[in-house]
Amino acid sequence: MRTGFLHKSLLASMILFVFITAVQSSEYSWFDKANTQPDEIGKYQIYSMNDILFCTGDDPAGAANNKAAELMMSGQFSDALAILENGLTEAPLFLPFRYNAGICTLYMNKLQAALIHFRKAQQLAPEYWKIYLQTGYIYGRLNRESDALEQFRIGLKKNPRELNTYILIGDIYFLRNQLRTAKKYYETTITLQNLFPNGILGLAKIHFKNEEYIKAMVLLKSINTSAEYDKSYHYYFAESAFKTGDYKTAVEQYETLLKFKHDRFFLVNSMFLIKHKLELSKRFTER
């Protein structure tokens, strides 16, 4: 199996030239939900799903990347990283390999390694705004909030239509307890896209921090979770419900949150603590 991949890796180096010259040859083009469709569609495309880069087509580099990406979707980051690192030895400038390696190391809590991967990704594709969101997130985890804000603002300049950039900036101010400024950024997303889930969640978080739990729940109930959304939604919903004595809802929301065990939420929050809160809520429902 490894021999087959190495054979593909040799071909990947040929694909590499195509990728580097994508702007001229249009073999590769970008397509992303947060961006408009490119004017000229290439033979292959790169797109983002849940912060992971996928490729269309059946070229060897894209196929190897997609195999790793599928493993990442199921939380198998170590196995995915092995494939990506193997790919990088043959095609070190193939952006999906580099970007996804950064995501893997990030979820493995190897923050410095992740930062190195994303910095190299910035050199490969300086206009791709999502790279700056990842570096900003890492700086935030390292308690370098000013550096995080700088990265988020670079990302915002690259693509002012990426609503989650406003959310990430708002979250920095939320953590600083600068709630008025946080609210401004959250509300901006709702202005740009009516009922944007993460924008409403941000406003609900402010109500929660102000101990206005009923108001928080009203907003949380209005959020449409059929599209992509921040899974911390379930945490704030569960906590607000618990605070108001709605233990049944708290149980439902904690249980739903625990289904997303590979979500970024659990990089900074204890799964054990959430399970404890779930059991506590269950005890209250039995009274």
| Cβ pair 133, 118 in contact under 8 A | no
Give the pLDDT confidence score for residue 57 in this predicted structure. Answer: 75
Number of separate helices (H) and strands (E) present in the chain: 16, 3
Which distant-in-sequence residues (6+ apart) come within 8 Å of 247 by Cβ?
241, 281, 282, 284, 285
Burial (Cβ within 10 Å: 0-12, 13-18, ≥19) of residue 90: buried
Question: How far lies 130's CA from each of 32, 79, 119, 161, in Å?
Answer: 10, 23, 12, 12
Give the pLDDT confidence score for residue 58 in this predicted structure. Answer: 79
State which residues form the domain around 25.
1-128
Burial (Cβ within 10 Å: 0-12, 13-18, ≥19) of residue 108: middle
Residue 270 resides in a domain: no
Residue 53 resides in a domain: yes
Separation between Cα atoms, residue 210 and residue 260, nearest integer Å: 27
Sequential pLDDT tens for the chain (287 residues): 444 444 443 333 333 333 333 322 235 455 554 343 433 345 678 999 989 999 987 789 999 999 999 999 999 999 999 999 999 999 999 999 999 999 999 999 999 999 999 999 999 999 999 999 999 999 999 999 999 999 999 999 999 999 999 999 999 999 999 999 999 999 999 999 999 999 999 999 999 999 999 999 999 999 999 988 999 999 999 999 999 999 999 999 999 999 999 999 999 999 999 999 999 999 999 87
**Cα 146–98–260 angle (5° rounding)?**
75
**Cα 230–232–236 angle (5° rounding)?**
130
Separation between Cα atoms, residue 165 and residue 262, nearest integer Å: 22
Residue 39 resides in a domain: yes
Give the pLDDT confidence score for residue 44 in this predicted structure. Answer: 76
Q: Indicate the helix (H) or strand (E) that contains 39.
A: none
Residue with tokens 């379930």: 234
**Cα 32–126–42 angle (5° rounding)?**
45
Separation between Cα atoms, residue 185 and residue 189, nearest integer Å: 7
| Cβ pair 57, 44 in contact under 8 A | yes
Residue 147 resides in a domain: no
For 220-262, the pLDDT digits (tens) are 999 999 988 999 999 999 999 999 999 999 999 999 999 999 9
For residue 5, what is the domain's CATH number? Answer: 1.25.40.10
Residue 221 resides in a domain: no
Count of domains observed in the chain: 1
Give the pLDDT confidence score for residue 99 in this predicted structure. Answer: 98
Helix (H, G, I), strand (E, B) or coil at 94: coil
